[in-house]
Amino acid sequence: MKAKDLSDVERAVLEGQPAAIQEQIRLDAVEQKRRTAIRKGMAKAAARGRQVGRPSQSDQDFLNRYSAVKEALESGLSLRQAAAAAGVAVNTVRKVQRMIDGKA
């Protein structure tokens, strides 16, 4: 009688390896533990008065940084034309336009 050919799953079970779903559950638990540790560390840093997250930037600083975009918009260029002229992304031009219009 010929021996049965085992599938990869059957072979893994016989070798004592965890199933794919068990491995995914383990990886999710490790990721959750990592995220929790990061949050605790950020909370401790904030409690000590340290800056957590991105540094804040005033609207005026942002507009000064992208003065070429502001000039391009004020000269009447479209969003895409202003982005090309200033060498920035269209969404950056949109942000500058919102700040100029006072909708930021």
Q: Are residues 96 and 68 in the same domain?
A: yes
Highest mean pLDDT among 8-17, 50-59, 63-72 belongs to: 63-72
**Assigned domain for 96 exists:** yes
Cα 25 from Cα 54, distance rounded (Å): 32
- Judge whether 37 and 31 are in contact, CB under 8 Å: no
Percent of the chain at pLDDT > 90 equals 60
The total number of structural domains that make up the chain? 2
Could you list the residue range(s) of the whole structural domain that residue 20 is in? 8-47
Cα 47 from Cα 50, distance rounded (Å): 7
pLDDT class of 104 with cuts at 50, 70, 90: low
**Assigned domain for 14 exists:** yes
Average pLDDT (25-34) is: 97
Question: 58 pLDDT exceeds 70?
Answer: yes
Cα 75 from Cα 90, distance rounded (Å): 16
Cα 71 from Cα 88, distance rounded (Å): 13
Q: Are residues 37 and 69 in the same domain?
A: no
Question: 1 pLDDT exceeds 80?
Answer: no
**Assigned domain for 1 exists:** no
**Assigned domain for 82 exists:** yes
Question: 24 pLDDT exceeds 90?
Answer: yes
- Judge whether 93 and 69 are in contact, CB under 8 Å: yes
